[in-house]
């Protein structure tokens, strides 16, 4: 995730958006859930501190007056988290798709809250380029963005074929990838302007929970000149 890295001195900028929302909180089938307060005392696996998922989940708890001290948040990658909930080693996971869809289809959990319900239209993935590339190869940055825009449009218009490509590349079963496409609440985008407000809110949350020492600004995080130039051609 770029916010914490940029705060620590990474010379890079967000030049395009990739995705908003798209993660789910999945609990073991036997666990009752009606409200965020039901998470007290549970063990939830998610990505490491500073990640999109960890930040969204912690904000969700705080927004609903659930102390993060009352929930055991375990740092795990997607594969380990899926294995842990299957084995009953954790009570739930908060992961990006297709993980939640795979867990559901295998009967090892059920999605109870989508990340868009936790934080509407929150930024997730983005296209980040180094300051060196921006300064020394601006035309290459533009071409990367052109390619990204075309890929995003193709994905949205050809979801079945895109699901097949993803399944072949990752080894996931095709039926589970297609189910994920149906279930997730995410949106594929390329316009960085659509992620600015959410990203700045992320930066504020990172500051509030102590992940970074200063609140980053739009100028610290974004360079939209290249996207604007490409889309204005």
First to last CA, the chain: 30
Give the tens place of pLDDT for each residue, 156-174.
999 999 999 999 999 999 9
Give the tens place of pLDDT for each residue, 69-88.
999 999 999 999 999 999 99
- Of 124, 106, 108, 107, the closest CA to residue 184 belongs to 124
State which residues form the domain around 49: 23-118
Q: What share of the chain is helix, strand, coil (3-state, %, to 5)?
A: 50, 15, 30
For every one of its 233 residues, what pLDDT tens digit does the chain have, with 9 covering 90 and above? 699 999 999 999 999 999 999 999 999 999 999 999 999 999 999 999 999 999 999 999 999 999 999 999 999 999 999 999 999 999 999 999 999 999 999 999 999 999 999 999 999 999 999 999 999 999 999 999 999 999 999 999 999 999 999 999 999 999 999 999 999 999 999 999 999 999 999 999 999 999 999 999 999 999 999 999 999 97
User: ∠ CA 160-162-165 to the nearest 5 degrees?
Assistant: 115
Residues 158, 98, single domain; the answer is no
Q: How far apart are CA 2 and CA 127, in angstroms?
A: 10
Domain end point (choices 118, 149, 171): 118
Residues 101, 159, single domain; the answer is no
Query: In what order do the strands lie in the sheet containing 72-75?
Result: 72-75, 43-46, 92-96, 23-27, 110-114
Instruction: Domain count for the chain, please give it.
Output: 2
Domain end point (choices 78, 98, 118): 118
Residues 62, 98, single domain; the answer is yes
Residues 111, 127, single domain; the answer is no
pLDDT score recorded for residue 1: 66
Neighbours of 50 (CB within 10 A): 17
pLDDT score recorded for residue 233: 79
Q: How far apart are CA 198 and CA 217, in angstroms?
A: 12
Q: Are 18 and 190 in contact (CB under 8 A)?
A: yes
Residues 68, 91, single domain; the answer is yes
Residues 112, 41, single domain; the answer is yes
Classify residue 123 by its DSSP letter.
B
Q: What does each C-alpha distance from 94 to 20, 26, 40 come to in angstroms?
A: 15, 6, 15
Q: What does each C-alpha distance from 182 to 129, 157, 159 come to in angstroms?
A: 31, 14, 10
Beta strands in 101-221 (DSSP E): 110-114, 126-130, 187-188
pLDDT score recorded for residue 134: 98
**Treating both helix axes as pointing N-terminal to C-terminal, what angle do 138-157 and 159-170 enclose, rounded to 10 degrees?**
110
Q: How far apart are CA 177 and CA 200, in angstroms?
A: 31
**Nearest 5°: phi and psi at 52?**
-55, -50
Q: What does each C-alpha distance from 68 to 115, 184, 190 come to in angstroms?
A: 17, 25, 33
Residues 132, 82, single domain; the answer is no
Residues 141, 205, single domain; the answer is yes
């Amino acid at each position: 995730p770029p916010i914490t890295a940029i705060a620590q001195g990474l010379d890079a900028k967000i030049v395009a958006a990739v995705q908003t929302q798209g993660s789910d909180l999945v609990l073991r089938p036997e666990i009752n859930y009606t409200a965020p307060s039901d998470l007290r005392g549970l063990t939830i696996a998610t990505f490491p501190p500073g990640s999109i998922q960890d930040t969204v989940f912690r904000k969700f708890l705080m927004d609903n007056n659930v102390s993060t001290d009352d929930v055991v948040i375990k740092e795990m990658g997607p594969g380990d988290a899926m294995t842990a909930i299957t084995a009953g080693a954790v009570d739930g996971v908060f992961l990006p798709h297709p993980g939640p869809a795979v867990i559901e289809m295998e009967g090892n959990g059920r999605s109870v809250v989508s990340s868009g319900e936790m934080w509407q239209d929150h930024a997730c993935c983005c296209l980040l380029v180094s300051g060196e590339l921006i300064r020394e190869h601006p035309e290459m940055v533009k071409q990367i963005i052109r390619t990204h825009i075309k890929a995003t449009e193709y994905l949205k218009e050809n979801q079945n074929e895109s699901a097949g490509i993803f399944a072949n590349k990752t080894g996931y079963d095709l039926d589970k990838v297609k189910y994920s496409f149906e279930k997730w609440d995410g949106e594929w985008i390329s316009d960085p302007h659509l992620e600015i407000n959410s990203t700045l809110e992320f930066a504020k949350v990172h500051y509030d929970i102590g992940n970074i020492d200063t609140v980053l600004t739009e100028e610290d995080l974004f360079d939209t000149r290249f996207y604007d130039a490409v889309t204005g051609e």
